[in-house]
């Protein structure tokens, strides 16, 4: 056995040596392993910033190193010079060619480092290089002698054109160049872009940032610099001309193969906007499109209005492409622009069918089908009508409970208008996004075999609008749902009788109220190192009925609740906050952190929240080490095998998730995660189930789990596999809730009771 261990160690050592990639180098060559930056300065400087700038100038990048080895270089070498087989070609493509010292030019790199440092105000740096050689490898040390960066003393405006000068001086308080800041070339470039941006909104259509010059006067004594901003000596006349909109032409049936032309004999003019073609041929009524056109005749050209027009037309969802072209009007009057808006329509009707397989962590699985028909212009006003029919079947394949199964179907009709549909007039805003009004009517039938039938009708009237790319609002002033439960089996009624809390939850299923949600997201800002996300959701129900009862003089309470259409109406308030942060690393790995907090309280006509409005914990998008909705409330233990489809929820939910996401290869991603949280009932809740929420002890009742994940990420589709195990079980006795000492992967009974595989679509958060 001892000899086998020695042989194993020798093989590992040989493999690691081979993976170093330093063998198989051409004669006389050495492998370049990278560079090190050192700084020398008599001044107190920001070494971290200066080093980062200098490192960005170092070329070339060495071969990638993993755990002290270079596996990609090793794969390249294994493939050989000219591989013949498919495997060899794949190895060659996957691997990395060796970065040789002969391709490194330390002298040139030193000059580039000095140039980069010059751009951040270190005008007199000097960089020298030194090579450190070993038997097969070599690295370079660059030592930069630096001083404290020059600072901005003043910014003087000297614009020869009076009109431009007035505009630029009026915006000088917004300048990015601040006295006392370090010199930075990128800030100078951004300042020119800023000035060009607001000039474009004042009609200077042909102005260009390159027409602005910064003249610098440096002081070697004080280490400061004074800037004077001027115009170039020779600027085209049109760049100093304020342009106005002349004619606006719209072609809403433009084909990509068609040459733009305005020789159509048939036109329709609405609010000085010319629509090409006969009105009966136009898919969308001109009056509807006019509301999204912000480029108007006789108005000064504004790039902002150009962007608003383009985005609002595209966000309608009726056009695959929108082009906004400008051309000078062929008249004797200078400074006029004709606008040509060319819109390529999408197919008016589309049909979509989806079939997938759903697998849940509580051992239920089955097929799901979704059919939808969309009409993109239902009444000629760009209304989107979506007819949807969904159906599913799921069964318990394995587990300790009965072989339960259920099926459902859900027809739904949704009509969306590209505007606010309200009985009063709302003034037009300058948002680049179109506000939308939606009407939704749905019916859901659910059959829990051996338990019950459930029918749910729902109607929603609401609005969606965006302030900007980050902020989105959704307001549903009317959100009504009615649920009836029939064909109750003896098994189900016995289960309800044994749990009054669950029974009460299923009784109060008439919900009439409103919801509001706000979302702030930076996830679309791909270049941001730290991306934030916040979703705030609120809900009120039953207050209108309660007010009507008070006016009528009727007294209602949870002990003597009022009914609507024969069903007790629910009265409650609900609030939840979902906050997330995504930390992006240079190697495209990511650390995702999520915190969720929610609270709901029933009052007035209700003593308990409706079942569908309670908070639940556990499952593929929650605590992944526990089965769906199986955690809590509090220290209560839910035997999901005996309870089947039904789990208990809570009035309060606290949950946090931390996940490190990393690349494995190509479309395959990996993850390490930890989840913690629980749900609780409020102390005022009459149900005697689990321990109520107490601020002093809620941390002691957290369920904690951890695991690993594999994801197949092809951008438009993400298939996720998360394998998790519990670390802490809140239903156990105090001082015995941490179960890390019980972990035993070799024990089949432990694996069956503790390992949970979650299969899902998309990331958990």
CB atoms under 10 Å from CB of 300, counted, come to 15
Q: 526 pLDDT exceeds 60? A: yes
Sheet hosting strand 224-231, strand order edge to edge: 151-157, 224-231, 212-219
Q: What is the mean pLDDT of residues 380-396?
A: 88
Compute how many other C-beta atoms are within 10 angstroms of the C-beta atom of residue 232: 12
Which residues 6+ apart lie within 8 Å of 561 measured at CB? 508, 568, 569, 605, 606
Instruction: Return the C-alpha torsion angle 257, 261, 263, 267, nearest 10.
Output: 90
Q: What is the pLDDT of residue 364?
A: 66
Which residues on adjacent β-strands are paired with residue 600? 574
- What phi-psi label fits residue 713: left (phi over 0), alpha (psi between -120 and 50 degrees) or beta? beta
Of 171-175, 307-311, 642-646, which gets the smallest average pLDDT?
A: 642-646
For residue 686, pLDDT beyond 80: no
**Contact present, 550 and 735 (Cβ < 8 Å):** no
| Tokens found for residue 38 | 């050192």
Q: Which pLDDT score, from 0 to 100, does residue 329 have?
A: 79
Report the DSSP beta bridge partners of residue 251. Answer: 342
Instruction: Considering only residues 248 and 253, tell me which one the structure prediction assigns the higher pLDDT.
Output: 248
Least confident of 367-376, 481-490, 637-646: 637-646
Task: Look at residue 587 in the predicted model and tell me its pLDDT.
Answer: 78
Residue 704: what pLDDT?
A: 96
pLDDT for 108 equals 95
Neighbours of 697 (CB within 10 A): 12
Which pLDDT belongs to residue 641?
57
Q: How confident is the model at residue 77 (pLDDT cuts 50, 70, 90)?
A: confident
Q: Which stretch of 11-20, 260-269, 463-472 has the lowest confidence by average pLDDT?
A: 11-20
pLDDT at 38: 95
Using the predicted structure, report yes or no on whether residue 716 has a pLDDT greater than 90.
no
- pLDDT class of 17 with cuts at 50, 70, 90: very low
* Interatomic CA distance for residues 327 and 247, integer angstroms: 10
Work out the average pLDDT over 288-294: 92
Q: 378 is written with which tokens? A: 């239902």
Q: Looking at per-residue confidence, does 201 or 258 come out higher? A: 201
Environment class of residue 516 by beta-carbon count within 10 Å: exposed (0-12), middle (13-18) or buried (19+)?
A: middle
696: β partners: none
The pair of three-digit structure tokens given for residue 123, joined into one six-digit string: 């005008």
Is residue 24 a contact partner of residue 73, using CB atoms and an 8 Å limit? no
**Beta pairing partners, 126:** 145
Helix (H) or strand (E) holding 310: helix 303-314
In whole angstroms, give the CA distance from residue 511 to residue 728: 36
What rounded mean pLDDT belongs to the chain? 87
Q: Which of 496, 484, 501 is nearest to 566 (CA)?
A: 484
Judged by DSSP in three states, 701 sits in: helix
- In the chain, pLDDT over 70 holds for what percent of residues? 92
DSSP of 644-675: TT----BSEEEEEEEEEEEEEETTEEEEEEEE
d(CA 508, CA 699): 31
Q: In sequence order, what are the beta bridge partners of 191?
A: none
Average pLDDT in the 636-644 region? Answer: 66
Question: What are the beta bridge partners of residue 269?
Answer: 274
pLDDT, tens only, 41-51 = 999 999 999 99
Highest-pLDDT range among 477-481, 661-665, 732-736: 477-481
> In angstroms, rounded to a whole number, what is the distance separating the alpha carbons of residues 359 and 366?
7
Encode pLDDT of 664-685 as tens digits: 888 899 999 999 999 999 987 7
Q: What percent of the chain has pLDDT over 90?
A: 56
Antiparallel, parallel or unpaired: β 718-728 and 756-761: antiparallel
pLDDT digits (tens, 9 = 90+) for 300-339: 999 999 999 999 999 888 999 999 999 987 776 789 999 9
Of 436, 259, 470, 250, nearest to 343 by C-alpha is 250
Task: For residues 545-568, give the mean pLDDT.
Answer: 79
Nearest-5° Cα angle at 600, 597 to 601: 150
Report pLDDT for 647: 76
**pLDDT tier for residue 256 given thresholds of 50, 70 and 90:** confident
Q: What is residue 156's DSSP assignment?
A: E
The pLDDT of residue 14: 44
Give the mean pLDDT of 120-131: 95
Confidence at residue 113, expressed as pLDDT on a 0 to 100 scale: 96
What's the whole-model pTM score? 0.79
């Amino acid at each position: 056995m001892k000899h086998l261990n020695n042989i194993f160690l020798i093989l590992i050592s040989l493999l690691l040596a081979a993976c170093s990639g330093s063998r198989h180098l051409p004669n006389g060559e050495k492998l370049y392993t990278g560079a090190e930056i050192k700084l020398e300065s008599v001044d107190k400087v920001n070494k971290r910033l200066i080093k980062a700038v200098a490192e960005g100038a170092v070329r070339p990048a060495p071969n990638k190193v993993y755990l002290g080895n270079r596996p990609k270089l090793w794969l390249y070498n294994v493939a050989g010079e000219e591989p013949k087989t498919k495997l060899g070609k794949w190895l060659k493509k996957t691997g990395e060619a060796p970065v040789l010292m002969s391709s490194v030019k330390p002298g040139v790199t030193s000059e580039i480092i000095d140039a980069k440092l010059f751009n951040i105000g270190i005008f007199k740096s000097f960089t020298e290089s030194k090579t450190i050689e070993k038997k097969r490898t070599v690295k370079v040390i660059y030592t930069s002698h630096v001083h404290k960066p020059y600072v901005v003393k003043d910014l003087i405006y000297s614009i020869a054109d009076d009109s431009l000068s007035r505009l630029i001086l009026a915006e000088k308080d917004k300048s990015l160049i601040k006295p006392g800041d370090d010199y930075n070339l990128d800030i100078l470039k951004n300042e020119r872009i800023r000035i060009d941006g607001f000039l474009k909104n004042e009609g200077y259509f042909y102005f260009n940032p390159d027409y602005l010059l910064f003249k610098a006067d440096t002081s070697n004594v004080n280490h400061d610099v004074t800037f004077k901003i001027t115009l170039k000596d020779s600027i085209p006349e049109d760049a100093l001309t304020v342009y106005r909109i002349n004619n606006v032409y719209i072609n809403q049936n433009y084909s990509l193969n068609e040459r733009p032309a305005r020789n159509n004999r048939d036109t329709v003019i609405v609010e000085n906007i010319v629509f090409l073609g006969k009105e009966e041929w136009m898919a969308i009524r001109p009056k509807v499109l006019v509301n999204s056109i912000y480029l108007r005749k006789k108005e000064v050209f504004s790039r902002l209005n150009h962007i608003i027009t383009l985005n609002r037309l595209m966000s309608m969802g009726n056009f695959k492409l929108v082009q906004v072209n400008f051309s000078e009007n062929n008249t004797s009057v200078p400074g006029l622009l004709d606008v040509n808006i060319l819109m390529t329509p999408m197919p008016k009707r589309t049909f979509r069918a989806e079939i997938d397989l759903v697998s849940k962590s509580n051992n239920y699985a089955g097929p799901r089908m979704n059919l939808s028909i969309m009409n993109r212009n239902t009444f000629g006003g760009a209304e989107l009508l979506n007819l949807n029919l969904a159906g599913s079947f799921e069964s318990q394949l394995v587990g300790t409970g009965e072989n339960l199964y259920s099926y459902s179907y859900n027809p739904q009709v949704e009509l969306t208008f590209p505007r606010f549909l309200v009985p009063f007039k709302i003034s037009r805003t300058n948002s680049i996004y179109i506000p939308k009004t939606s009407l939704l009517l749905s019916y859901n039938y659910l059959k829990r075999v051996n338990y019950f039938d459930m029918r749910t009708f729902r109607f929603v009237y609401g609005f969606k609008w965006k302030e900007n790319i980050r902020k989105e609002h959704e307001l549903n002033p009317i959100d009504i749902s009615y649920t009836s439960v029939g064909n109750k089996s003896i098994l189900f009624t016995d289960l309800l009788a044994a749990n009054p809390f669950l029974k009460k939850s299923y009784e109060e299923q008439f919900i009439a109220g409103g919801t509001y949600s706000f979302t702030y997201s930076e996830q679309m800002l791909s270049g941001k190192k730290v991306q934030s996300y916040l979703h705030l959701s609120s809900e009120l129900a039953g207050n209108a009925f309660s007010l009507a009862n008070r006016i009528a003089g009727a007294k209602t309470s949870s002990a003597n609740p009022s009914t609507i259409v024969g069903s007790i109406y629910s009265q409650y308030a609900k609030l939840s906050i979902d906050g997330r942060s995504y930390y992006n690393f240079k190697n495209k790995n990511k650390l995702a952190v999520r915190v969720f907090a929610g609270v709901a309280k029933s009052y007035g006509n209700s003593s308990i929240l409706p079942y569908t409005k309670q908070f639940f914990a556990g499952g593929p998008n929650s605590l992944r080490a526990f089965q769906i909705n199986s955690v809590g409330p509090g220290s209560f233990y839910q035997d999901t095998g005996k309870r089947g489809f039904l789990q208990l929820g809570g009035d309060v939910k606290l949950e946090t998730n931390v996940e490190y996401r990393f690349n494995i290869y190509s479309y395959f991603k990996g993850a390490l995660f930890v989840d913690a949280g629980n749900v609780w009932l409020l102390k005022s809740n009459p149900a005697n189930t689990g321990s109520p929420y107490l601020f002093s002890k809620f941390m002691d009742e957290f369920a904690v789990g951890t695991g690993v994940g594999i994801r197949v990420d092809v951008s438009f589709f993400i298939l996720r596999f998360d394998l998790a195990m519990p670390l802490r079980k809140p239903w156990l006795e105090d001082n015995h809730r941490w179960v890390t000492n019980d972990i035993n992967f070799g024990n089949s009974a432990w694996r069956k009771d503790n390992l949970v595989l979650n299969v899902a679509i998309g990331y958990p958060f």
